[in-house]
Structure 1
Amino acid sequence: MFTIIVLLIAAFVFALCCVGAMIVTVSAASNWPGRLFSYLMWMIVVASVGTIVLSGRVIKMEQQGLVVGLESEVGGTILAKLLLAAIIGISVALCAAWMLIPRKSKARNNSFDRRGLHSPNDIVIAFMIFYVAFSILPFVFGDSHYFHVSLVYPFFVFLALFLWVRMSSGDPVDVVKQCLTVVVLVSLVAAVVVPSLVVQPGYIGLIPGFTTRLWGVTGHANAMGAIACALLTLEAAEPSAKVWIKRCILAAASLALILAQSKTSIVAASFGLLIILSWRLLSNVSAKARVNRTNQAYALSILIVAFSAFLTIGGAWLMFSDTSLLASLERQLEARAVDDLATGTGRTFIWERAIQGGMASPLFGQGPEFWHLENRLRWGLSAAAHAHNLFLQVFSVSGFIGLTALLVFLYFFSRYSIRAAKVTRGGSLAMLAVFFIRSMTEVPIAPNSILGGESLAIMAYFIYAIDRGAKGFHETRAEPTWRNGFVKTAGIR
């Protein structure tokens, strides 16, 4: 009886704290609207890193294979849940505050309006429709009525970020880049201080004789690779004003990318850097030599051929560089051979299962429960946490409805990226290419996951395209003038 009373009192106090937090959040939204996007982003970083640290994760290789143990105490688990609850509560409060703030106040603080740009309502609406089609509709109309709170709360987090990014008083791309940098640096430091938390031993990957793989303070090594890839490409596209900071970020991102040993992220980053370098080389040659249109077309043709050849060779290496998986499957997926499923050849077996699942319920898909552990064990694909392909993942989970919504969103994403190509001197195209290359063998959009690091890479892709590719009121686009160290009157350095 005493325990019940204590729990009731604790629940009441927690409810009062939540109400108070919402009041404070709404007040902050009215008084400091330009800071809320960065505050929410930093909260996600703190919660993501804190959740991994508090989990007491131990990555080790035993006789039965890779084992990820959690040795956290009850207090650490509760604190991690409180961090997530704080993000959810503040996000909901920010969404409510957006509805309560007068339209004139929002128009006065809108950074897009100040720069003579349309607010990115179309791409935000497209993303939120995709979220509903991917997470909510399969639960309501699909064959499996599996429900979890993670299907709902990320909706408010993403919506809050996309709404308040337009109010940001600073450059939102800088905020995203700083968040990525912190995650990468903390991961590298943790690899030296507490390697059991962030480093996977006994991994045979890309580097001969190197048997470790960096997970970092993220949920998996592939998430670490995605963050390092996004940071490397973003820093190359828009380098920091101080040279030593730029060099440190590039070095840290490159090191983390290599140590994560994610083939897809390495290929994607290489291709993105090639786009940025080629665009700027051609721009410099055109500006200095003042070549005529024929020479420009000839140079552009060479560039397209080089890009196509690089993509073909890189894709072939990515897909078929490791043929040991067939032998592993013949050994009935021995524990130490499970990691081979991460290769391109192994993913073809996963893709086949994803297609079969989607065709079994083609309209609304199988729901997120389709990729749960019990199903994967039954298929003999225990290491395949998802379809290892964005489009097949969406098709298997949400059917043609979700896939159509995804394609509509990607249309707007591509349109914004192409529109921003001149302003970013190829940087937006590089990020777009990185996203689509990762979509071939990974799932770069994980709508039902906020913590773990993957959401930060998602925001890097989309915030960059949204902020740099918004449509102008007139034919000549106004340049952002408040980006210290990045923008001159004539354009981006």
Structure 2
Amino acid sequence: MIRQSNGFLYWLFPAMLALAALEVLLSNRDLTQAFIQLEREAEGALDVTRNPIMVWVQRGVSVLLIAASLERIASHFAQGRVVPSMALTGSFLLFWLTTVLAPGLLGAHPVVTHEYAYSLLFGLAATLSGPMDRERILLVSRNGLFVFMLAGIVLVPWNPALVLDSSYSQGLLPGVPRFGGLAMHPVMMGMLSQSALLLLWARPFQRRWLTVCAWMLGLGVLFFAQSKTAWLAFMISACCMVLVRRAPDSVERLGDPRANSFGVLLLLGVICLLVAVLVGVLVFDVPGMLNDFLGSSEGAQLTSLTGRDRIWIVALEEWHNHPVFGYGPTIWDAEYRQAIAMPNATHGHNQMIDTLARCGTVGAIGLVCYAVVLMVLAVRFARATRGLSLAMFLTLALQSISEVPLLLVGYGADVFTHLLLVVTLAGAAAEQRRTRVAAEPIEPVLRTAS
């Protein structure tokens, strides 16, 4: 029997976090001046030369990525193992071809570099993950995320401007600094903390006190990152986790006369919710308060998603000008942002709109096909993963409203949750295939004597 190679693909996930953290540490950034720095960068007045240490560290991570991915792909087929999910692997290939290679070659501003191959290798290796690969990657990623968050908190008294944005005024917590930690942006910090909490829920630590401390750390970081998208995504993902894990048991308990107290408590909860809604409408005039808020400057920022609607208009105009293969990979670079006078528009702030502008209609078709496959597989394996696959998919879907979590140009912390979902789905598909093969009856072969 051929021994299955475990490889070292799981090291890539903490390596991505370490690379992102080191980038911030060596940049000596000031989060309170982030917008001004983007503006000066777009104007060419700011030197954006990277630290020489970062250049060599990134080269090392790139070598690790290539070696780990090729090892996983080669060992998978050398051992005669089947692809866990042809739909997942095929749709990922289609997505990469239509959103990376096609606009790089055929876009209005074509650019092709060796860095585009990294996401292809990493993604293909992720689609070949088995159950053991999945467990290692999820556990190492969970640990890495909490170390990443804790390191950002430790830096607060030492260099608060590096990890806190005290000038943030567009949140729902006026006067409270926004925590960015060692992520490139507080929004990214919110996304990563949400992913960490989902992993902690699915794979808690062996020591209970450590799990409790991790929950406090993750929720605190999620709260102070002040990302409305991350807050909403986590609430919906948490509800999904509860429903997948508890709904079947809850239905059985509702029909069980020995557990009628559960039904009484559920009914009481529904009554309290209805009473709260009536009190809010009749006594506190919640609809009127909501109208007043939406008419304020804060409400206007919320309804326009803090100015992202202007970026969407520009992106859709680019799609209109280049409808087939889009503008190309260099959209939203410093030169382009200076041309449109939007220094903070580092991407399209919506997955579909960004894909249309960057990759055209061809890329949008690839995105839709890939998203549909991810959704179907996330639902199919929701019970097998105890809600993790569906929660992670919903996380990415909600983030796609105002961010671009499925962007495959290069590698980094921004593709962390995306590839974790791919690994989770591939591992569940491989486990299901293995269970199905083991359950098939073996028919004896009768041989007649000559």
TM-score class, shorter-chain normalisation, is: 0.7 to 0.9
1:347 pairs with 2:308: yes
Tell me the CA shift for residue 243 of structure 1. 2.3
**Cα gap change, 1:431/1:34 in structure 2, threshold over 3 Å: closer, same or farther?**
same
Would the alpha carbon gap of residues 201 and 322 (structure 1) be closer, same or farther in structure 2, given more than 3 Å must change? farther
Other-structure match for 1:91: 65
**Contact 1:351–1:388, Cα closer than 8 Å, also in 2:** yes
Residues 33 and 168, structure 1, Cα contact 8 Å, conserved in 2: no
List aligned pairs for 1:167-178, cutoff 5 A: 168=133, 170-178=135-143
The one-character-per-residue Cα deviations of 1:250-283 (angstroms, maximum 9, x if unpaired) are 2111111111111111111111112223444433
TM-score scaled to structure 1, two decimals?
0.71
Quote the residue 1:491 is aligned against.
none
In 2, Cα distance between the equivalents of 1:139 and 1:449? 13
Separation (CA, whole Å) in 1 of partners of 2:438 and 2:140: 21
Listed as ranges, the matches of 1:449-460 within 5 Å are: 449-451=410-412, 453-460=413-420
After alignment, is 211-220 or 55-64 more displaced?
Answer: 55-64
Assess, with a 3 A threshold, how the Cα gap between structure 1 residues 227 and 277 changes in structure 2: closer, same or farther: same
Give, in angstroms, the shift of residue 152 of structure 1. Answer: 3.6
**Is the counterpart of residue 250 in structure 1 residue 210 in structure 2?**
no
Gaps of 5+ in 2: 258-262, 278-289, 440-450
The answer to whether the 8 A contact 2:170-2:298 is kept is no
2:375 counterpart of 1:401 = no
Q: Match of 1:177, as an amino acid?
A: R
Query: 1:209 Cα shift?
Result: 3.7
- Confirm whether residue 80 of structure 1 aligns to residue 41 of structure 2: no
Provide the rounded CA distance (Å) in 2 between the counterparts of 1:211 and 1:67: 24
Once the 2 structures are TM-superposed, how far is the Cα of residue 208 of structure 1 from its aligned partner?
3.3
Structure 1 counterpart of 2:102: 137
Greater Rg over alpha carbons, structure? 2
Q: Indicate conservation of the 8 Å contact 1:36/1:164, yes or no.
A: no
Deviations 1:31-80 (A, max 9, x none): 993141222223223222222222232333499688899x9999x82221
Which stretch shows the higher mean deviation, 54-63 or 35-44? 54-63
Which of 136, 155, 158 is the matching residue for 1:190? 155
> Is the Cα contact below 8 Å between 2:84 and 2:128 reproduced in 1?
no
- Structure 1 distance, partners of 2:246, 2:376, is 24
Q: From 1, 12, 33, give the equivalent of 1:40.
A: 12
Question: Are residues 1:55 and 2:55 paired?
Answer: no
Equivalent-residue separation in structure 1 for 2:150 and 2:294 (angstroms): 30
Q: What do you get for the CA RMSD once the two structures are aligned?
A: 4.0
Q: Residues 145, 193 of structure 1: CA spacing in aligned structure 2 closer, same or farther, 3 A cutoff?
A: same
Say whether 1:286 aligns with 2:232: no
Pair 94,392 (structure 1): closer, same or farther in 2 beyond 3 Å: same
The aligned counterpart of 1:110 is: none
Q: Which amino acid aligns with 1:190?
A: L
1:375–1:99 CA distance, 2 compared to 1 (3 A): closer
Contact 1:61 1:67 (C-alpha < 8 Å) held by counterparts: no
Retained in 2: the 8 A contact 1:390–1:443?
A: yes
Please give the alpha-carbon distance, in whole angstroms, between the structure 2 residues aligned to 1:100 and 1:422.
31
Q: What is aligned with 1:271?
A: 236
Among 456, 460, 463, the residue aligned to 2:423: 463
Structure 1 window deviating more from structure 2 (160-169 vs 411-420): it is 160-169
Partner of 1:387: 348
- In the alignment, structure 1 residue 180 sits paired with structure 2 residue 159: no
Letter in 1 for 2:356: F
1:185–1:466 CA distance, 2 compared to 1 (3 A)? farther
The 1:99/1:35 distance shift into structure 2, 3 A limit, reads: closer
Unaligned runs of 5+ in 1: 1-29, 108-112, 310-316, 328-339, 480-493
Q: Does the 8 Å contact 2:131/2:428 carry over to 1? A: no
Q: 2:20 & 2:34 partners in 1: Cα distance?
A: 27
Whole-Å separation in 1 of the counterparts to 2:27 and 2:197: 28
What is the alpha-carbon distance in structure 2 between the residues aligned to residue 478 and residue 174 of structure 1? Answer: 27
**1:344 Cα deviation from its structure 2 partner:** 1.1
The answer for the alignment partner of 2:446 in structure 1 is none
**Given the alignment, which residue of 166, 183, 194 partners 1:201?**
166
Summarize the Cα distance change of 1:237–1:287 in structure 2 as closer, same or farther, 3 Å threshold.
farther
Change (3 A) 1:278 1:195: same
2:395 to 434, 441, 463: 434
1:80-121: CA deviations, max 9, x gaps?
1112111222322344445654845364xxxxx8xxxx6134
| Paired-residue identity, % | 20
Change in CA separation of 1:418 and 1:321 when aligned onto 2, cut-off 3 Å: farther
Q: CA deviation at 1:435?
A: 1.4
Count of residues in Structure 1 that have an aligned counterpart in Structure 2? 408
Question: Are the counterparts in 1 of residues 244 and 383 from structure 2 also a CA contact under 8 Å?
Answer: no
1:260 aligns with 2:225: yes
Q: Which residue of 1 aligns with 2:432?
A: 472
CA distance in 1, matches of 2:297, 2:422: 36
Shift of 1:136: 1.8
SS in 2 for 1:282: helix
